[in-house]
Amino acid sequence: MRTNYPQLHEDVAFGRAKGKIIWQPRIGCWYDDKIFASGTLPEPYSGMDIYQVYEAIDCSARLYDYNSCFYRIEHPQTSITSRSLNETDTQWTIQTPVGKQTAIGRKSFNSPHQITAKWEIETEEDFKVARWREENCDWGWNEEQFQKLNHKIGHLGAPTMFMPRMNVQALYIEKMGVENAVYAIFEKPEIVESYFRALEENQSLLINVINSSPINIINFGENVHAGTLSPPFFEKYHLPECQRRCEKLHSAGKFVCSHWDGDTKPLLRYAHETGLDGIEAITPIPQGDVTLKEVKAALGDDMFLLDGIPAIYFDEMFPVEKLIDCVHQIIDLFAPHLILGISDEISSSGDLERVKIVRDIVDKYNSEIDSKES
């Protein structure tokens, strides 16, 4: 009989699993890159969608698809239009009563995802428009979409969503790019911080919708990387807002985690101050900059590790024994506060057979717990 993945996922997150853990490999990059490169998947997965691949390898999925149940409601006088500039570039124009913004996305020949050729925020006027948009929009819930997703993919895991990025990370990744954002924070702090306040207030409205929803596992999709989010920036901007978010979400009984990838060593000392229940995607050496023992020391015995296995261990450049040893070490260190996964995703050159090996290790670990219970 197949594992009841949604039940196990929530039981692990909320401490009801009696010591069992769950294996949730994210295979989106592998899937998207294969489809982009050749239009199909290798056998025996040819013709499958990503959910069917999860079924074929008998693994749980981290279902951030449920983000589509939440929708942003722009002010009625805001219009967003797009037009093609050439074969590669598309321009978006955001028109509001206080001015307009433009952004340009560019097709990549290496990925299905566009890169940013022009950022939304470049001037003080752009900040003004961006702030007005946050001050004048709301959030809604789509129950029909929720039920549709439950019917299609709900057997693969518990409903999960990730929130929009907060303050500095939003500027870096969505609005300005890292270099421009750093200059803006230092040279125009009043303007930047006014935008941050508007962003926080708007995201508080989203939290109200989240807290009224049946989705109980909430992620902050921050992509925290210490190489750009320095400890001073983290302390001044990121940490206080993270704490405020966690307090509001915990008041409704939500499990809250945040996505930290890249280099995290300089920031791990703040882990317990964040208010988070766990941290997703911390990447150990040889891919990241921390050891598993350093991660354990930071998270302690009460915070969850989500993921933990370096993605490169799923490539043939490393012997499979390396992967197996890593999995056992992670389980020994972090179980039962462990939602095991790949830090961050298996690459397009990764081997799904190795994903099955980890599945079998976790299944054996959980079955031994069941045996002791009986």
Q: pLDDT, tens digit, for every residue of 100-156?
A: 999 999 999 888 889 999 999 999 999 999 999 999 999 999 999 999 999 999 999
Same domain? For 244 and 254 the reply is yes
Side chain identity at residue 60, one-letter code? S
CA–CA–CA angle 11, 220, 182 (5° rounding):
160
- Cβ-in-10-Å burial (0-12, 13-18, 19+) of 293 comes to exposed
Same domain? For 79 and 224 the reply is no
Same domain? For 105 and 157 the reply is no
CA–CA–CA angle 279, 137, 117 (5° rounding):
70
Q: pLDDT, tens digit, for every residue of 322-374?
A: 999 999 999 999 999 999 999 989 999 999 999 999 999 999 999 999 988 77
Same domain? For 251 and 362 the reply is yes
Query: Is 131 part of any domain?
Result: no
Same domain? For 113 and 176 the reply is no
Give the Å distances, CA to CA, from 291 to 62, 310, 311, 336.
24, 11, 15, 19
Please choose, from the candidates 98, 92, 91, 93, the residue with its C-alpha nearest in 3D space to the C-alpha of residue 75: 98
Domain count for the chain, please give it: 2
- Structural domain of residue 90, as residue ranges? 75-120
Query: Is 157 part of any domain?
Result: yes
Query: CATH code at 280?
Result: 3.20.20.210
Same domain? For 341 and 199 the reply is yes
Q: pLDDT, tens digit, for every residue of 36-89?
A: 999 999 999 999 999 999 999 999 999 999 999 999 999 999 999 999 999 999
Query: Is 130 part of any domain?
Result: no
Side chain identity at residue 285, one-letter code? I
Rounded Cα distance between 164 and 173, Å, is: 11
Rounded Cα distance between 345 and 25, Å, is: 7
Same domain? For 79 and 96 the reply is yes
pTM (2 decimals)? 0.96
Strands (E), 211-308: 217-224, 255-260, 278-280, 304-306
Query: Is 132 part of any domain?
Result: no
Same domain? For 20 and 111 the reply is no
Same domain? For 213 and 115 the reply is no
Same domain? For 225 and 340 the reply is yes
Same domain? For 343 and 314 the reply is yes
